[in-house]
Amino acid sequence: MENNMVKTPEQLLNIMKAEAMGDACFSHILDFMKVGMTERQVADEIERFLLSLGAEGLSFPTICVSGSRTEFPHGEPSDKVIEKGDLVTIDMGAIVNGYCGDMTRTVAMRHVTDQQREVYDIVLRAQMAGLAAVKTGAKCFDVDKICRDIITEAGYGQYYVHGTGHGVGMEVHESPTLNTKSKETLEEFMPVTIEPGIYLPGNFGVRIEDLAIVTDFGIINTTRSEKELIIL
Ligand SMILES: [Mn+2]
């Protein structure tokens, strides 16, 4: 069987372009999003903006959740109003020539609590460690474990309720998968996401996701958006 987890240069360029549209959109949304808007308004603007950049479609319905709704890793945007003190998680992707982008950022609105910042910093540390572990020959299981161990050692292991990442191509979720059951080994020019998260029921959640291309020396990170906690 053809190994289509490894992408051609042309396929990778489409993924990089889709992700660059995501970066441009995130930067636009940092200006656009205000306390008092609904999640749906922000999600609609993300989709409108990506299409205005030339995306031919969306990798998946845009996620924009705020406040306690950030506890849902795959929550749909609602009519909930974004309030001061909310975290907002945005997960989005453009499609370019059939290839998907995929990125997630979590930002704070005006104010951040000590616990929100603590959890954010743990997720970011896990995400950076995961990215640093990605290279040709790395086991997907081990990349997941490196992220998971950081979150577990920080005391939040039980709130990391999904896998660390997945391949991306014409489908937004492709092989390989990076989770506690993974058997695959990373090969050069596989695009994979690294997206750990912590979700505290009834409180808040944080997820940070980049889309990286595996190389023999490490990664080419196709996602350029800021990852330090942004307070709007
Ligand atoms: Mn993803």
Ligand 1 centroid vs 92 CA: distance in angstroms?
A: 9
Beta bridge partners of 57: 95
Please tell me the predicted confidence (pLDDT) of residue 3. Answer: 62
CA distance linking residue 190 with residue 192, whole number of Å: 6
Packing angle of the helix pair 140-153, 114-133 (nearest 10 deg): 160
Ligand 1 centroid vs 110 CA: distance in angstroms?
A: 27
Please tell me the predicted confidence (pLDDT) of residue 1. Answer: 41
Ligand 1 centroid vs 103 CA: distance in angstroms?
A: 6
Ligand 1 centroid vs 207 CA: distance in angstroms?
A: 10
Tokens representing 88?
A: 């907002």
CA distance linking residue 117 with residue 123, whole number of Å: 10
| 35 burial level (CB within 10 Å; 0-12, 13-18, 19+) | middle
Q: Return residues with CB closer than 5 A to ligand 1 (ion).
A: 102, 193
Ligand 1 centroid vs 64 CA: distance in angstroms?
A: 14
**Domains defined for the chain, CATH in brackets:** 9-221 (3.90.230.10)
Please tell me the predicted confidence (pLDDT) of residue 152. Answer: 98
The string of DSSP letters for 126-194 reads: HHHHHHHH-STT-BHHHHHHHHHHHHHHTT-GGG--S-SEEE-SSSSSEEEEESTT---B--TT-EEEE
Per-residue pLDDT of the chain (232 residues; tens, 9 = 90+): 446 999 999 999 999 999 999 999 999 999 999 999 999 999 999 999 999 999 999 999 999 999 999 999 999 999 999 999 999 999 999 999 999 999 999 999 999 999 999 999 999 999 999 999 999 999 999 999 999 999 999 999 999 999 999 999 999 999 999 999 999 999 999 999 999 999 999 999 999 999 999 999 999 999 999 999 999 9
Ligand 1 centroid vs 105 CA: distance in angstroms?
A: 11
Beta bridge partners of 178: 165
Q: Where are the alpha helices (DSSP H) in 53-113?
A: none
Q: How many CA atoms lie within 13 A of 219 on its CB side?
A: 24
CA distance linking residue 46 with residue 41, whole number of Å: 9
Tell me if 106 sits within 8 A of 66, measured CB to CB.
no
Ligand 1 centroid vs 89 CA: distance in angstroms?
A: 13
- Specify the DSSP class assigned to residue 68: G
